[in-house]
Amino acid sequence: MADQASENLRKTPLYDVHVEHGGKLVPFAGYEMPVQFEGVMAEHLWTRQHAGLFDVSHMGPCFLFLKEGLGGPGAHEKISALLEQIVPSDIAALKPGQGRLTVLLNEEGGILDDLIVTRMPDDDLQGMLYIVVNGAVKAEDWALMREKLSDQCMLQTADDRILVALQGPEAAAVIEPHFPEAGELKFMRCAHVQKDGERFMVTRSGYTGEDGFELLLPNNETGLGIVKALLADDRVKPIGLGARDSLRLEAGLCLYGHDMDPSRTLVEADLQWVIQKSRRARADFPGAAKITDQLTNGAAEKRVGIRPLERAPAREGTEIHVDGVKVGVVTSGGFGPSVEGPVAMGYIRADLTEPGTKIDLMVRGKARAGEVAALPFVEPNYKR
């Protein structure tokens, strides 16, 4: 069975590059992905100090665009109105080249996935959105979009390409000689750049809390050449999924399937900032009644940061107790190399969310001291 499963795993276009760099490959979201190269701790710290290159080709990049009227008057408003049927953010308000984090909602206001939606920067491509969804649920997300978004638009998936994230304080200096346009971008802005006759997306974003870029490259010699040129820079090292997880946890960023899932609303996940004022006023997104109620009256539980006060990490699934009563659960937890101690996130009863609140973390049945902590654990380094 195990052998059969591994035979069915997909390989990203960078598989050979991972092997060449000594990556330890594991099954992840249906792909064979590198969990680490030289070691999670070293890779994590390298990314915080220099620049790390992450293969995120397993994720779900795609383009959603109008079948008719692309680049014409009102095209962005038309495509936005379609997508806004299933996300609670103000997509229409995005400026050309601007991106935004949002969530896909079910009818109960639960989170089906988180995604980044970017308005294309080009005049002739207004009416097209560049969207990146999570790899583990991309098939479901795309099915939902095709089902809900009428026949006025088309969805073109792009997960056959190379998607890499270059993250860290030296990322901009590394990328600028290759793509001068990229260095000028601010956080959550994109450029549509050209090289060797190929056109591709560069967005100033990532999921580590560091400044950085995501590049959607063609799966050919040009794309591969760009990845290899970046890796040839002394400031860049390939980084695996292990450090990606510890970096995003220190940055207080939610991971779908762990800190967010269909049973939690965005209010419970403390992501109410993804709903802009205009959408709150219209209250026209799935689950709006429940979400509006929680925004007004509060939710029963909320996502918070958690600091174990002893050295034992509190992993996902660890129960949170106060006075012997279960009041919550850890949804992500581990060791934070930059924090130099254990860090976690989880859901806790709404009256216990104040940072500093003492809690017991039931690690292997034993109560260990912890406290509610402000997020993020590491201040982000975004270029605003």
Partner 1 sequence: MTQKFTQQNTFYTEDHEWVTVHGDLATCGITRYAADQLGDVVFVEVPEVGKVFKKGDDMAVVESVKAASDVYAPMSGEVIDANGKLGDAPETVNEHPETEGWFCVIRFSDGAETKGLMDKDAYYEFCKGH
365 binds partner 1 (CB under 8 A): no
245 binds partner 1 (CB under 8 A): yes
* C-alpha–C-alpha distance, residues 347 and 371, integer Å: 13
Query: Least CB distance from residue 363 to partner 1, whole Å?
Result: 8
For residue 209, CA distances in Å to 43, 50, 51, 106, 228 come to 15, 13, 12, 28, 24
Q: Where does this chain touch partner 1 (CB under 8 A) — which range of 77-85, 182-190, 216-224, 332-340?
A: 332-340
Residue from 6, 41, 35, 3 nearest 21 by CA: 35
**Residues 131-150 contacting partner 1, CB under 8 A:** none
The sign of the dihedral angle between the CA atoms of 273, 302, 131, 236 is: positive
Contacts of 264 (CB under 8 A, 6+ apart): 110, 111, 303, 347
Query: Least CB distance from residue 111 to partner 1, whole Å?
Result: 25
Tell me the DSSP string of 62-121.
EEEEESS-TTSTTHHHHHHHHHTTT--S-STTPPTTBEEEEEEE-TTSBEEEEEEEEE--
**Residues 17-76 contacting partner 1, CB under 8 A:** 35-36, 39-41, 44
DSSP letter assigned to residue 185: P
78 binds partner 1 (CB under 8 A): no
335 binds partner 1 (CB under 8 A): yes
Residue from 316, 321, 328, 305 nearest 366 by CA: 321
Query: Least CB distance from residue 230 to partner 1, whole Å?
Result: 25
* C-alpha–C-alpha distance, residues 277 and 22, integer Å: 48
329 binds partner 1 (CB under 8 A): no
237 binds partner 1 (CB under 8 A): no
298 binds partner 1 (CB under 8 A): no
Site size toward partner 1, by CB under 8 A? 18
Residue from 239, 271, 272, 278 nearest 255 by CA: 271
380 binds partner 1 (CB under 8 A): no
Closer CB to partner 1, 26 or 149, in the complex: 26
* Helix, strand, coil % in the chain, rounded to nearest 5: 25, 35, 40
Closer CB to partner 1, 46 or 200, in the complex: 46
Closer CB to partner 1, 18 or 44, in the complex: 44
- Is residue 189 helix, strand or coil? strand
The only residue of 242, 252, 328, 346 in contact with partner 1, by rule CB under 8 A: 242
Closer CB to partner 1, 36 or 294, in the complex: 36
Closer CB to partner 1, 59 or 249, in the complex: 249
315 binds partner 1 (CB under 8 A): yes
Query: Least CB distance from residue 292 to partner 1, whole Å?
Result: 39
The only residue of 110, 135, 334, 376 in contact with partner 1, by rule CB under 8 A: 334
The only residue of 173, 312, 339, 350 in contact with partner 1, by rule CB under 8 A: 312
The only residue of 212, 313, 328, 370 in contact with partner 1, by rule CB under 8 A: 313
Q: How far is CA 261 from the centre of its chain?
A: 14
Q: Where does this chain touch partner 1 (CB under 8 A) — which range of 3-11, 274-282, 330-338, 372-380?
A: 330-338
Residue from 100, 88, 81, 80 nearest 295 by CA: 88
Q: Where does this chain touch partner 1 (CB under 8 A) — which range of 92-100, 157-165, 252-260, 312-320?
A: 312-320
Strands 236-239 and 51-55: parallel
* C-alpha–C-alpha distance, residues 344 and 165, integer Å: 24
Closer CB to partner 1, 364 or 384, in the complex: 364
Binding site for partner 1 (CB under 8 A): 35-36, 39-41, 44, 242, 245-246, 311-313, 315, 334-335, 337, 342, 364
